[in-house]
Chains A and B, each alone.
Chain A
């Protein structure tokens, strides 16, 4: 039931301006209070987060890159994932490069990934 609610809410607020979005969400919350279902808010928020993950692409960068590099990366993402909204996150742990992730696929262009691949090769050969 919550899934359907969240899906409907999502479809309603898709491609609307910020003002309109605020209005819709306000009305949604009022409706919840009227029907005495405010206690479902945490579950609704969880479901919204999941839905966001499904429809957006998480782009993890090692540090703040210049615009040129960002455009290259975005082009690569469009090739692999199609037209989708991108959410950027900075994570220095990946050492360098980027990681583009959506629910089902991953493009690993990070330095950490390459080093892990090295490690795997050395590991399999060290078994002799």
Chain B
């Protein structure tokens, strides 16, 4: 049947009878909020529609005589006296495989200029996370492709790891590196990137990077750009979480990055203040903790009965002048399973990524590390901490004995081999080989400035002469003795070459 026939049928079936509908009338319009009288039987968090301007809203406040709703659109188009009708459904967004590769707003409208989303399922934005019995402990790694993180602060699938740092640190780019690294991973997770309050140019740049490296084949972008009203900023993380939950419940893995939750807190503070909810510390409403905790509790590792899927969450927070004792940072640190603290001063000293290893922790730790990585990196954190202590101590000494000198040189080289450029993820086999070289002392005789060159030549050499090393680590996830022997031989030859050239 062509469109005209369908239309004819629809119009014939149209009831020309006056039915009684539930309505409300707009009494007051504030910034992004409409106060409505009527709507006697509306439910909390139900969607409503402003008839005259065809804009949607969500009911947030149920007061004695009025209903407060946030406006999901341009609130300047809403006038006093406008009729409001119930949509009779809780706020939901389209989810599913059709969303992969798309850039959408929190309601599911496309922002990438392509066709409308045809979804097979609509998920509510607000949901209670999996219960205790549905979960199991985190046991498989999420490889970030960043040596320092995978070795010292490993992230597992189903964990919440907070990225914390000042505005000038490159937290977003490091989070992006994680998405780029998933391209060739086993059981690749679906990645969801949620920029909140970011400039549209920044979001466009990020999408371009994802497209160029082929990451859009497994990524969804749920964007609430700076020009969208606070209501969208508030809803975006929940929409992104709903996308991830779809895949988690199907037994797959998913990764969601909230960039960043500071702006999310600002948006909720704005809405709460306009709704006249009592302001608390730093003018945030009393439920600012619940705002973030209910979001992050939806990230989990499900047990086998529930499909064994997982949703890993990487919230990003902006600190002011490096103060991690602020209100929101302390809240979210206590919710997450660890934090990675990015320090601008380290960046200026040349350490990239600029992670403060002392203040960073992963509470899941080695339970989520591959066996091979555990072997090479088990004592790495302690060694680096001891090296840092030694460095500070030695500043006040004139002379150092042989042993201390050796420790200092080892530490310097390990630190150098852990350096890595941003947006440059390394597969797990390359990471392990690099750290192995550092920890087993093969770099001790090489000059620090040659280490980067050494590293790239090492990869090339293995790929050409003994690719079995990389293959074995990739497949078995283990560093057995035969592979170690092969690796030792290559490292010995290569170090000899650099020794001669260096001196």
Q: Which residues of A contact B (CB under 8 A)?
A: 50, 53, 76, 80, 97, 101, 103-109, 113-114, 117-118, 121-122, 125, 127-128
B38 near A107 (CB under 8 angstroms)? no
Report which of B6, B16, B18, B37 forms a contact with A107, defined as CB distance below 8 A.
B18
CB contact between A104 and one of B7, B14, B22 (< 8 Å): that residue = B22
Determine if B3 and A106 form an interchain contact, defined as CB atoms under 8 angstroms apart: no
Contact A125 B18 (CB under 8 A): no
User: Min CB distance, B7 to chain A, in Å?
Assistant: 6
Size class of the B contact interface (CB-based, 8 Å): 20 to 34
B82-122 with Cβ < 8 A to chain A? 83, 116
**Cα separation A80 to B24 with both chains bound (whole Å):** 17
Q: Given the interface contacts A103-B37, A104-B38, A128-B3, does A80 sit within 8 Å of B20 by beta carbon?
A: yes
Question: In the complex, what's the smallest C-beta–C-beta distance from B304 to chain A, in angstroms?
Answer: 42
If A122-B7, A125-B3, A127-B116 touch, does A106 touch B39 (CB 8 Å cutoff)?
A: no
Where the two chains meet, the residues of B that have a C-beta atom closer than 8 Å to any C-beta of A are 3, 6-7, 10-11, 14, 16, 18-25, 37-41, 83, 116
Question: Across the interface, which residues of B come within 8 angstroms of A118, CB to CB?
Answer: 11, 14
Bound Cα distance from A30 to B386, whole angstroms: 87
A-side contacts of B40, CB under 8 Å: 103-104
Closest beta carbon of chain A to B414's beta carbon, Å: 59
Is A108's CB under 8 angstroms from B7's CB? Answer: no
- Which residues of chain A are near B20, meaning CB under 8 Å? 80, 105-107
Q: How far is the CA of A114 from the CA of B15 in the complex (A)?
A: 9
Min Cβ gap A47→B in Å is 11
Nearest-neighbour CB distance to chain A for B81, whole angstroms, equals 11
Do B11 and A104 touch (CB < 8 A)?
no
Chain B proximity of A48: nearest CB distance (Å): 15
Do A76 and B24 form a contact, CB below 8 Å, given A104-B38, A121-B11, A127-B116? no
Residues of the A chain whose Cβ atoms lie less than 8 Å from the Cβ of B39: 104
- Distance in angstroms between the alpha carbons of A113 and B7 in the assembled complex: 18
Q: Which residues of A contact B16 (CB under 8 A)?
A: 114
Of A97, A104, A107, A117, most B-chain CB atoms within 10 Å: A104
Residues in A with CB closer than 8 Å to B3 are 125, 128
